[in-house]
Amino acid sequence: MKLAIVGCTGLVGNVVLKLLDEFSIQISELTLVASPKSVGKKIFFRNKEITVVSIDEALNKDLDIAIFSAGGLVSKNWAEKFAYNGTKVIDNSSYWRMNEEIPLVVPEVNGKSILKSTKIIANPNCSTIQMVVALNNIYLNYGIKRLVISTYQSVTGTGAAAVQQMEDERDGKATKKIYPHQIDQNCFPHGGDFLENGYTTEEIKLVNETQKIFNDPTIRITATVVRIPVIGGHCESVNIETLKSFNLNAVIDVLNNSAGVIVQDNPKNFDYPMPITSQYKNDVFVGRIRIDETIKNGLNLWIVADNLRKGAATNAVQIVDYILQNKLL
């Protein structure tokens, strides 16, 4: 299997390399692609030195799969060219996600939407991925009428420059501002760009992507995205209104039997999910499971995951693994 990583020097690209080993993905040839300033750089993978190449050079290789983690503009300009050459593209940007012809995939939830004929596969937004993994079996068992989501998102979601801004602020250094405000010792309700309706693009992604993944436009969803000064992962407070009544213990059993989910819910011992304990892990952690007593069929969950892993790189590598296991090349 010939694989390329487009954007190999970024935060997500670096994690993809680690995960290919963790998942024991068998690769006959690995092509590493980055921007012109990184072309020629040497990267070690499985005891072998690989030279970073340009994207147009990679296009001419006979690739089976390419993981794109280089931003929406690169995906817009190059994904279809790779697909035309017979390469399956797994795209981490937002560019293809809402295209009706492109499957938006979380393997535990809707892996079956990938067909042998599928050429471009969209990786959902990091916050969407962890939430739908946690909600999938609840949706299947009880249905979902409405979701009210508040996210508390790591600065790593914006990239290495944002992490550098936070670290410089902590060290009292002058820094290039990636965010409009100081991030250290602060939080602000702003992720993505503001739209005319007052919501941000990150908030609208949670609405549209969740409905697409569940293939259910009737789910009513509202969201508020908040950026916080941590690097370990994203947190979400999710208030759920189900269509069917439920028993809380049964919901906990459902979560315990959900692929990719670890229930961490013992508040008496101060045991609940946190970014600092989810970092470097591939699972989605769920805690603070409790009934919302103000509405019928109301449920509250606290959902945490490493956004660079399950929110991006892990999901992409799991898609690769799914393709290989199901002989979809």
Active site residues: 126, 234
Quick one: DSSP state of residue 271? B
146: tokens are 């409405």
CA dist 88 and 82 (Å) reads 8
CA dist 261 and 255 (Å) reads 7
Helix, strand or coil for residue 313? helix
Largest pairwise CA distance in the chain: 60
Measured CA distances, 10 to 38, 71, 137, 148, 174 (Å): 11, 10, 33, 32, 23
Q: Over the range 279-295, which residues count as b (16 or more CB within 10 Å of their CB) and which as e?
A: bebbbbbbbebeeeeee
CA dist 4 and 24 (Å) reads 16
Alpha helices by DSSP H, listed for 106-217, are 107-110, 126-142, 160-170, 201-214
**Is the CB of residue 304 less than 8 Å from the CB of residue 130?**
yes
CA dist 254 and 325 (Å) reads 26
**Is the CB of residue 248 less than 8 Å from the CB of residue 171?**
no
